[in-house]
Amino acid sequence: MVSVAQESPYFVTYDHHMEEPGNLDIEVSATTDVPRTGQKYYFAPWMEFEYGVTARWTTELYIEGQTTYGDSTVFTGWRFENRFRPMKREHWINPVLYLEYESLNEASRIQKEISGGGPDITSPNSELRNTPAHELETKLILSSDFHDWNLAENFIVEKNLSRGEGFEFGYAVGFYRPLATMASGSNCRFCGENFSAGVEFYGGLGSTLNFSGRNTGNYVAPVLSWLISDNSTLRFSPGFGLTHESSRVLFRFGYSYEIAGIGSKVSKLFGGKR
Amino acid sequence: MSRPSTFVVCSLLVVLGTMLGQNPEYRQDPTWRAPDDDARKVNPLANRPGAAAGGKKLFLRNCAECHGDGSGIEKKHSADFQLLVVQEQSDGTIFWKITNGNTGRGMPSFSKLPELERWQLVLYLRTLKPVPSPL
């Protein structure tokens, strides 16, 4: 049985579309960079398991690491994320509440979001991996669908529980639309209906100790997704750094595979009804 | 709590959520009604029956997992679209229900599909042969 979530092409921005209840989305993604002078090339993969608990509650578990050229490969931690959609129906603006616990170290480079000044990409891994970063992150996600376009805005507040860095802030804004708005009768893979494209903007806004867009990483990133089969999607995004603290270019790519109805199968194992 | 313990607790929460997240039993929700303006909307593809083929593809991708594919597969207590109680509803009502979902009862919103694709779904549902609703 096939089932698919038409994945949004965003890497950083969240919209209000939740995982279908009972479906598990397994995604392997990576962030890599074209460094500026003084920065190092790195490759930061992560794996995420996204599950639709209900039609208004999606939960995710992340595991991440990174390799820095000329340095080392390190495990950088895990994240547990939940998104709740408070409103039952579609509205002009659809809010979603986001809460995440992160058990990371400062070597984390996946940059799933950028808050405060962004990650430290100049210090050696040996130093960064020993600096824990237990963080709580909240987001207010606002998202609208309008004439086949999606427009989403995320406001990020993050608190490092390990150190007194104050509250750190960040943002992400994006829009996208499918390249075709009608489905053909055939199972074509290169039809416009299988592609979505857009742009996202994201970056840090400093912290309560230094609230400013200065000295923070900021990017503009075209995004593209391709539904390569009924249950798998490829995504790609080159993000161009807008400030000196940003990498010159961040490349992101990801592959996701959706397993439909896994919730009911697990439920049956424990004697639940389908 | 140590970090490994926190990880285990979070993983158990995911499994627990998996078990609790299932729709227990489907019954028509009398409160799930499209506003009159939406219920009166006309399918812009009504004169393009060929578009139903695309609707079928979308149906198999997005709906059949819960609603069945017409071959008698097991369903998760979701509505069978061949039932009269479904087929008697207006195109606009079905479109509105696809768009908004009934999130409190486990039916997700499909507003992420382009508008015309949602109308293609409605067009395809109209090709299913209606059967009487069970008492």
pLDDT in tens, B14-51: 555 444 443 344 467 888 899 999 999 999 999 999 99
Burial per residue of B12-48, b for 16 or more beta-carbon CB atoms within 10 angstroms, e otherwise = eebeebbbebbbeebeeeeebebeeebbebebebeee
User: Rounded to an integer, what distance in angstroms lies between the CA atom of residue A242 and that of residue A221?
Assistant: 10
SS3 for A63-83 is: EEEEEECCCCEEEEEEEEEEE
Cα A77 to chain centroid distance, Å, stands at: 16
In a domain, B2, yes or no: no
Domain span including residue A130? 24-269
B109 vs A267, higher pLDDT? B109
Å between B54 CA and nearest CA of chain A: 4
For position A143, which CATH number holds?
Answer: 2.40.160.40
pLDDT of residue A2: 47
In a domain, B64, yes or no: yes
Domain span including residue B103? 29-125
Stretch 167-196 of chain A: residues touching chain B, C-beta under 8 Å: 177-178, 181-185, 187, 193
pLDDT of residue A56: 94
Q: Which of A111, A201, A197 is nearest to A153 (CA)?
A: A201
Query: Are the Cβ atoms of B76 and A193 closer than 8 angstroms?
Result: no
**Cβ A235 vs Cβ A11: under 8 Å:** yes
For position B50, which CATH number holds?
Answer: 1.10.760
pTM of the model: 0.88
Å between B106 CA and nearest CA of chain A: 5
Chain A residues within an 8 Å CB radius of B73: 1
- Please check whether residue B118 touches A, CB under 8 A: no
Query: Are the Cβ atoms of A61 and B53 closer than 8 angstroms?
Result: no
For B35, the closest chain A residue by CA position comes to: A89
- Please check whether residue B49 touches A, CB under 8 A: no
Q: Match 């340095």 to its residue by tokens.
A: A71
Chain A residues within an 8 Å CB radius of B101: 55
**Cβ B75 vs Cβ A244: under 8 Å:** no
User: Rounded to an integer, what distance in angstroms lies between the CA atom of residue A111 and that of residue A92?
Assistant: 29
In a domain, A2, yes or no: no
In a domain, A134, yes or no: yes
For A259, the closest chain B residue by CA position comes to: B65
Percent of chain B clearing pLDDT 90 (strictly above): 44
Reply yes or no on whether the pLDDT at B128 is more than 70. Answer: yes
Residue A196 burial by Cβ neighbours in a 10 Å radius (0-12, 13-18, 19+): buried
Confidence tier at B4 by pLDDT (50, 70, 90): low
Percent of chain B clearing pLDDT 70 (strictly above): 72
Reply yes or no on whether the pLDDT at B59 is more than 90. Answer: yes
Å between B57 CA and nearest CA of chain A: 7
Angle formed at CA B85 by CA B82 and CA B86, multiple of 5 degrees: 55
pLDDT of residue A38: 76
Run means of pLDDT, 10 residues per run, chain A, 274 residues: 67 95 94 85 96 95 95 96 95 97 94 82 89 94 95 96 87 97 91 96 89 82 95 96 90 94 77 60
For B96, phi and psi rounded to 5 degrees?
A: -65, -40
pLDDT of residue B111: 93
pLDDT of residue B71: 61
Best of B13, B38, B45, B57 to disrupt the A interface (most A CBs within 10 Å) is: B57
pLDDT of residue B19: 47
In a domain, B10, yes or no: no
pLDDT of residue A74: 96
Reply yes or no on whether the pLDDT at B133 is more than 70. Answer: no
Query: Are the Cβ atoms of B112 and A18 closer than 8 angstroms?
Result: no
Residue A219 burial by Cβ neighbours in a 10 Å radius (0-12, 13-18, 19+): buried
Å between A65 CA and nearest CA of chain B: 16
Domain count, chain A: 1
Angle formed at CA A96 by CA A91 and CA A101, multiple of 5 degrees: 175
Domain count, chain B: 1
User: Rounded to an integer, what distance in angstroms lies between the CA atom of residue A10 and that of residue A112?
Assistant: 11
For A91, the closest chain B residue by CA position comes to: B100
Reply yes or no on whether the pLDDT at B77 is more than 60. Answer: yes
Chain A residues within an 8 Å CB radius of B114: 148, 177-178, 181-182
In a domain, B85, yes or no: yes
pLDDT of residue A1: 44
In a domain, A5, yes or no: no
Stretch 83-142 of chain A: residues touching chain B, C-beta under 8 Å: 85, 88-90, 101, 103
In a domain, B9, yes or no: no
pLDDT of residue A6: 61
